[in-house]
Structure 1
Amino acid sequence: MMHSSLEGFLGAGDKILTTGPVALIFVEDKVEIATTLRHHLDLGFTTVVAFMPDAFDIPYDLETRIHRVPFDCSAREAVIEAINKVIARAAPGCWLYYCYNAEYLFYPFCESRNVVELLGFHGEERRAAMLTYVVDLYAADLDAAPNGVSLETAHLDKSGYYAQARIDPQTGHPLDRQLDFYGGIRWRYEEHIPAASRKIDRISLFRAKPELRLFEDHRFNEPEYNTYACPWHHNLTAAICSFRTAKALKRNPGSSFEIDSFRWHNSAPFDWHSRQLLDLGLMEPGQWF
């Protein structure tokens, strides 16, 4: 379904933004639009919404399966503002998810269980948000894929991930069950990455509620939404396997000519399977088996 504008989409929220899960996919360029949309449709999202410029094309079969909203992601904070408008319009309790094109959600056992089952279990554990790690993907050969993107030869870092305590600026003490996570090519090429963009944690799956707001650093104004687990045991986490950083580093003239290859001794081919991410510790099954 084609909507005339973001406001037009929000006006239809009574029919769309009810229980979810609703995937909000923000399209920044023409890279892997169709594969991103298909991946999230295949995961079982009840609604997939593509926010994208009118000039970008998608296959006809996808046009009938998604909601398309004219949108320009280039303005600073445009995406965050749009997400907050969706949150304000969604019914309380509606599960929402957001990502960008050339990003792919994986969660434990996603090959055999859909996202509705995932969030049903998570909700039963009294969790209203799920931590996702943004795992950088990159092409094996930048001569063959100069934009850093190749689904066929995708690689990821198998080590080099770490966490630091998130400090409460008011008290100077660590926040309860909140950590800042780092790793991937954002860590290896941090001299080219603004400090505010180096973290790889993102609360991508969450339930709408009154007065909830998302900040530019991917945290929410509700502290419990920013936690990685409940107080009594480990909870599910997920991963967003993303070419976004690789694209940015190869698009930026300041870094593009300094990077001949993203591969290093701790690179591994990406298997496109949740088992690999579980084995690497890049997501957590919690009590879900």
Structure 2
Amino acid sequence: MHYSSLAAVASDAKRSLSRGPVALILIEDDVEVASTIAYHSKAGFAHLVAFCAPEQTLPAELPENLHRADFNVSAEDALQTITNTMIKALPDHWLYYCYNAEYLFYPFCEDRSVGEMLGFMREERRDTVMSYVVDLYVKNLKDYPNGVDRDDAYFDKSGYYALAREDAEGVVLERQVDIFGGLRWRFEEHIAKARQRTDRVAFFRAQAGLKMLPDRSFNVAEYNTYACPWHNNLTASVCSFRTAKALRRNPGSRAVIDTFHWPQSEPFNWQSQQLLDLGLMESGQWF
């Protein structure tokens, strides 16, 4: 299905996206569009909605459950606009968002579907899955000047840290943290401060009155927590070339960064166990 606007897909959502979960994929450029769509299709989402400019070319072969919606994803607050519109359109649905050249990992994702994972989270009485963005990058920028190569991807195996999140009055917020690390930490002078965090509420259950805020947190405090009060919960990782792409696209950073590789770089093997072993996500009570 091809929709001419965000409003069009939202108005038809209850009919065409009646089953969940739904993946919202924001396509910013031509990099790894086909692999992003194929990867998330295999994960078990009931529907994928690709938001992209009208002139964007999508792969010829697309999964039957992919819907296209024309939208300027480079516009200011595009993510919040899309997310808040789809929250209203799909109450009680689980929604997930990512950009092209980003790939979802959760514990045991090689053998268990997204639906199975979210079923477990509902049993845990959780309406969100906290995730952490893991920056992917290439070692050889000479051969891959945009910083992207899925067959030879690296990531930082250490260098991540968390700070307790505070409200405007300096009061520490319960079970909320700001996470930093990866390329955004190592090259922070080239990254806007508002975009340096790597924590992301990638999955959330839509409900009446829920809104994504400008900092990508939600107006319901519990949605921003990494775990429930009584035990740790499952978390996920979004492995992403997006920061590498941005650092290579920006003339200022491109001129001074000749490699992303450093002593703590490790080849990415595209397996959830690698991320679990390094503490970049956890299985909680799910075995």
For 2:236, the equivalent position in structure 1 comes to: 238
Give the superposition deviation at 1:197.
0.5
Q: CA deviation at 1:55?
A: 2.0
Amino acid at match of 1:4: S
CA pair 63-56 structure 1, distance change in 2 beyond 3 A: farther
Q: 1:64 & 1:190 partners in 2: Cα distance? A: 40
Q: Is the 8 A contact 2:134 2:182 kept in 1?
A: yes
The answer to whether 1:10 aligns with 2:14 is: no
Match of 1:167 in 2: 166
Cα contact 2:147–2:248 (8 A) shared by 1: yes
| Partner residue in 1 for 2:201 | 203
Contact 1:33 1:58 in 2 (8 A): yes
Contact 1:17 1:89 in 2 (8 A): no
The aligned residue for residue 112 of structure 1 is 111
Task: Report the CA distance between 1:63 and its aligned residue.
Answer: 5.9
Question: C-alpha separation between the residues in 1 aligned to 2:229 and 2:16?
Answer: 33
Q: How does 1:149-164 map to 2 (within 5 A)?
A: 149-164=148-163
The Cα offsets for residues 89-143 of structure 1, whole Å up to 9 and x where unpaired, read as 112x210000100000000000000000000000110000110100000011101
Alignment of 1:51-90 (within 5 A): 51-62=51-62, 64-90=64-90
- Larger displacement relative to structure 2 (50-59 or 30-39): 50-59
Q: Which residue of 2 aligns with 1:263?
A: 261
Q: Aligned equivalents of 1:49 and 1:60: distance in 2?
A: 16
1:166 counterpart SS class:
strand
Residue type of the alignment partner of 2:151 = E
Distance in 2, Cα, partners of 1:205 & 1:53: 24
| 2:22 counterpart of 1:22 | yes
One-letter code of the match for 1:247?
Answer: K
Higher mean displacement: 230-239 or 71-80: 71-80
C-alpha displacement of 1:7: 1.3
Range with greater deviation from structure 2 (234-243 or 58-67): 58-67
Q: C-alpha distance in 1, partners of 2:138/2:48?
A: 27
| Matching residue of 2:130 | 131
Separation (CA, whole Å) in 2 of partners of 1:190 and 1:262: 13
Output the CA distance in 1 between the equivalents of 2:214 and 2:168. 17
1:146-199, Cα deviation, whole Å (9 max, x unpaired)? 0011101100000000000101213x2210000000000100000111111000
Write the letter of the residue equivalent to 1:213. Answer: K
Q: Is the 8 A contact 2:94 2:204 kept in 1?
A: yes
- Letter in structure 2 aligned against 1:137: L
| Contact 2:46 2:65 (C-alpha < 8 Å) held by counterparts | no
SS at structure 1 position matched to 2:50? strand
Opposite residue 234 of structure 1, the aligned amino acid is N
Aligned-pair distance for 1:59? 2.3
Distance in structure 2 (CA, Å) of the matches to 1:132 and 1:215: 17
Alignment check: 8 A CA contact 2:131 2:237 kept: yes
CA distance in 1, matches of 2:251, 2:234: 39
Is contact 2:148-2:244 (8 Å) kept? yes
Percentage of identical aligned residues:
54
| Unaligned ranges ≥5, structure 2 | none
Assess if the C-alpha contact under 8 Å between 2:38 and 2:63 holds in 1.
no
Using structure 1 for the length normalisation, give the TM-score: 0.97
Secondary structure of 1:62 counterpart: coil
TM-score w.r.t. the length of structure 2 is 0.98
What SS does structure 2 have at the residue aligned with 1:12?
helix
